[in-house]
C-alpha cells in the first residue's frame, strides 16, 4: 500500500478503496481483468481517466495488492476476510451453540453497574497501552501506526484541525456535527467488511472516499454481477 501511495498519492488510495467496495459486492469477490472490463470498472467508480486507471491497476498487480487468476483479479486479504465473515454468518444462522443445560448455580451475572465498571477499566487499560505505544513511537510516524478502527475514530474526532478542514470543503458535503455519526457508520461498514485495524492516514482517506459514495442511504449502490 505504501509503494502504491508513494507513486499515486492519496488519489491512488481513494481509487483502491473504491475498487475494494466493488469487489466486496461481486460474486466471488473478483472482477474481470481484461482491458474493456477494467475500463468499465473505471467508469463504475467514477474515475475520469481510464489510461491513468490502467497504469494504477498494473502497478497494484506488480506490488501484490491484487492477484490475477485467469480472466479475473481479486484482493487476497479481502477474499480471506469475507470468507471468514461468511462462516461466522452461517454459524449464526444455524443458531450458534447448542442450548445450555439448566443452571443450578447461583446467579453470578454482573449487574449494570458492574458492567459499566468493567467497561471503564477496559477502556482505561486500552488508553494506557496506546499511551505506552505513543511514547515508543516517534510523533512523525503516528499516522503510519496500525490502530483499531475505533481508536482511529477517536483520533479523528479529537483532531479539530482535520474536522474543520473536512467540513469546510464544499466537495465533501458534510457538516461538522454530522461527522461523528458518519464515522460511526463508516466503522460499522469496515468491521462488516473484515477490516478492524488501519493506519490513521489510510483511515482518513478511506472515510472521505466512503462518505462521498454513500451520501444518501436512499441512493442504491452500484452493484454488478459476473
pLDDT at 115: 74
Q: pLDDT (tens digit, 9 = 90+) per residue, 20-70? A: 999 998 888 999 999 999 999 999 988 889 999 999 999 999 999 999 999
> With contact defined as beta carbons under 8 Å apart, do 15 and 8 qualify?
yes
Q: pLDDT (tens digit, 9 = 90+) per residue, 152-184? A: 999 999 999 899 989 898 888 899 999 999 999
pLDDT at 138: 40
Class of residue 39 by CB neighbours under 10 A (exposed 0-12, middle 13-18, buried 19+)? middle
pLDDT at 73: 94
pLDDT at 3: 84
Q: Which residues of 79-97 are buried (b: 16+ CB within 10 A; e: fewer)?
A: bebbeeeeeeeeeeeeeee
Q: Which residue has the higher pLDDT, 8 or 220?
A: 8
- Angle made by CA atoms 160, 164, 169, in degrees to the nearest 5: 155
Domains of the chain: 1-94 (1.10.10.10), 141-218 (no CATH)
| % of the chain residues with pLDDT over 90 | 41
Residue 134 has pLDDT above 60, yes or no: no
pLDDT at 52: 92
Q: What's the grid cell of residue 11?
A: 488519489
Q: Give the count of alpha carbons within 13 A of 185, CB side only.
A: 13
| % of the chain residues with pLDDT over 70 | 78
Mean pLDDT in the chain?
Answer: 81
Q: What's the grid cell of residue 124?
A: 482505561
pLDDT band at 109, cuts 50/70/90?
A: low
Amino acid at each position: 500500500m505504501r509503494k502504491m501511495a508513494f507513486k499515486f498519492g492519496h488519489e491512488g488510495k481513494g481509487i483502491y478503496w473504491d475498487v475494494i467496495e466493488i469487489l466486496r459486492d461481486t460474486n466471488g469477490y473478483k472482477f474481470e481483468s481484461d482491458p474493456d472490463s477494467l475500463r468499465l470498472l473505471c467508469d463504475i467508480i467514477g474515475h475520469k481517466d481510464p489510461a491513468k486507471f490502467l497504469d494504477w491497476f498494473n502497478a497494484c498487480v506488480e506490488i501484490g495488492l491484487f492477484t490475477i487468476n485467469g480472466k479475473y483479479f481479486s484482493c487476497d486479504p479481502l477474499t480471506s476476510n469475507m470468507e471468514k465473515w461468511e462462516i461466522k454468518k452461517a454459524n449464526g444462522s444455524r443458531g450458534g451453540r447448542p442450548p445450555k443445560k439448566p443452571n443450578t448455580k447461583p446467579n453470578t451475572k454482573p449487574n449494570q453497574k458492574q458492567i459499566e465498571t468493567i467497561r471503564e477499566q477496559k477502556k482505561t487499560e486500552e488508553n494506557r497501552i496506546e499511551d505506552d505505544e505513543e511514547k515508543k513511537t516517534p510523533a512523525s510516524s503516528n499516522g503510519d501506526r496500525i490502530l483499531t478502527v475505533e481508536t482511529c475514530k477517536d483520533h479523528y474526532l479529537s483532531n479539530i484541525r482535520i474536522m474543520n478542514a473536512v467540513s469546510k470543503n464544499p466537495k465533501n458535503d458534510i457538516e461538522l456535527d454530522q461527522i461523528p455519526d458518519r464515522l460511526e457508520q463508516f466503522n460499522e461498514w469496515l468491521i462488516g467488511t473484515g477490516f478492524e485495524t488501519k493506519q490513521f492516514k489510510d483511515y482518513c482517506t478511506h472515510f472521505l472516499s466512503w462518505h462521498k459514495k454513500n451520501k444518501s442511504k436512499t441512493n442504491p449502490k452500484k452493484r454488478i454481477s459476473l
